[in-house]
Amino acid sequence: MAFESLSEKLQNVFKNLRGKGRLTEADVKAALKEVKIALLEADVNFKVVKNFVKSVQERAIGQDVMNGLNPGQMVIKIVNEELVSLMGSETTEIALMPGNQVTVIMMIGLQGAGKTTTAAKIAGKLKMKGRQPLLVACDIYRPAAIKQLEVNGEKQGVEVFSMGTNHSPVDIAKAAIEHAKNNGQNVVILDTAGRLQIDESMMQELVDVKEAAGVTQTLLVVDAMTGQEAVNVATTFNDRIGVDGVILTKLDGDTRGGAALSIRQVTGKPILYIGMGEKLSDLEQFYPDRMASRILG
C-alpha cells in the first residue's frame, strides 16, 4: 500500500511528541527534522519539503495551544492541516459544460501511465452521473491501444469511436465530436497516443488536437510509481499543453507516494482522481483531507 513507509516514520516521530505536556522550540525543531527526512525519503520534491517544514515550524513555535490539546497534539494537528493544504485542500471535479453542450475531455500522458484504462474508468463514472459519454481512439500508432479501448468501452457499456490508424488524430477528434452531436452524447473523451518519452512531435500533436477539437478539459494521467519523474512529466505537459487536472494512477501499488504530495505545489494543478487498481471500478475521487489522514494514520 502507498505511503506505508512514510506513515510509519511519521507515526514514530509523533509518538514521541504526543505524550509531552510541554514542548520546547528544540523539541519542535528536532521533530520537524525527522519529518523532513521522512518526506524526502518518500520522494517528495525537495522544494515542497522545505516550504512545508517552514510553514509547520512557523505555526508550531509560539502558537497558543488550543483547548483540550497538548502541545504534541497541536503539532500533529498543524502537520495534518499543512498536508491537506499541500494537496490542494478542496476536492476538484471535472468541469463539465452545462446542459447538453458537448464537453470534450482530452486524456494525455506517457505510454503505460494508465491513460486508456483511466479513460474508460472516467467514462463509467460519468455514465453513472447520468451523462452520455463517447470514448474516442486517437492513438493511431498502436492498433493494440485501439483494441484495448474498445474492450474497455464494451465493459463499461460506452460506445467507442474509432477510425483505425489511417486518419490524423485531429480528423478523428473532429469526426467524433460530430458523431457525438448527432447521437446525443454529451461528453467526448479523447484517448490520445502516449510515448515512452516526451518528444516534440507528440507534444505538437496534442497541441493540434486540443486546438482543433476545442478541448474543454485536458486531463493528465501520471504513474505514481515513477515518483519525482511523475512530477517532472506533469510540469512539462502543463507548460507545453496546459493541463486542467491530474489523475494519479497505481496508488494501490507499493509507491512511496511523493508524487501525490508534490504535484499540486509544483504544477499548481489539482489531482482529480487516483487510480487504485486495474479494474475499471478502481478509480477514486481525490480527497486531500482523507489522503492526509491516510498518511498520518
User: Which residues make up each annotated binding site for GTP?
Assistant: 109-116, 191-195, 249-252
Q: Which position among 111, 165, 232, 235 is part of the footprint of ligand GDP (CB under 6 A)?
A: 111
What CA–CA distance (Å, rounded) separates 198 from 234? Answer: 11
Is 230 a binder of ligand GDP (CB under 6 A)?
no
The residue (of 81 and 282) whose beta carbon lies closer to ligand GDP is: 282
Please choose, out of 67-75, 112-120, 255-263, 286-294, the segment that lies near ligand GDP by the rule CB under 6 A: 112-120
Is 116 a binder of ligand GDP (CB under 6 A)?
yes
Q: Diameter of the chain by CA atoms?
A: 71
Q: 212: buried, middle or exposed (CB in 10 Å: 19+, 13-18, 0-12)?
A: middle
CB 92, min distance to ligand GDP, A: 19
State in Å, rounded, how far the first CA of the chain is from the last one. 13
Close Cβ partners of 95 (under 8 Å, ≥ 6 residues apart): 103, 216, 217, 244
Name the β-bridge partners of 145.
Answer: none
Q: How big is the CA angle at 75 (ends 46 and 43), to the nearest 5 degrees?
A: 20
Close Cβ partners of 36 (under 8 Å, ≥ 6 residues apart): 49, 53
- Residue closest to ligand GDP (Cβ): 275
What CA–CA distance (Å, rounded) separates 157 from 155? Answer: 6
CB 109, min distance to ligand GDP, A: 5
CB 79, min distance to ligand GDP, A: 27
Q: Which position among 92, 216, 238, 249 is part of the footprint of ligand GDP (CB under 6 A)?
A: 249
Q: Which position among 7, 57, 117, 255 is part of the footprint of ligand GDP (CB under 6 A)?
A: 117
Sites for ligand GDP among residues 254-283 (CB under 6 A): 275-278, 282
Give the DSSP letter of residue 63. P
The residue (of 71 and 153) whose beta carbon lies closer to ligand GDP is: 153
CB 162, min distance to ligand GDP, A: 15
Q: Which position among 76, 84, 87, 115 is part of the footprint of ligand GDP (CB under 6 A)?
A: 115
> Which residue is it, cell 477514486?
284
Please choose, out of 72-80, 175-183, 200-208, 248-256, the segment that lies near ligand GDP by the rule CB under 6 A: 248-256
CB 145, min distance to ligand GDP, A: 6
CB 107, min distance to ligand GDP, A: 8
Q: How many other CB atoms are there within 10 angstroms of residue 88's CB atom? A: 19
- 3-state SS of the chain: helix, strand, coil percent to 5? 50, 15, 35
Cell of residue 76, nine digits:
500533529
CB 221, min distance to ligand GDP, A: 6
Q: 34: buried, middle or exposed (CB in 10 Å: 19+, 13-18, 0-12)?
A: middle
Please choose, out of 65-73, 105-113, 161-169, 260-268, the segment that lies near ligand GDP by the rule CB under 6 A: 105-113
Mode of pairing for the β-strands spanning 283-285 and 271-275: antiparallel
What residues make contact with ligand GDP under the rule CB under 6 A? 109, 111-117, 148, 194, 249-250, 252-253, 275-278, 282
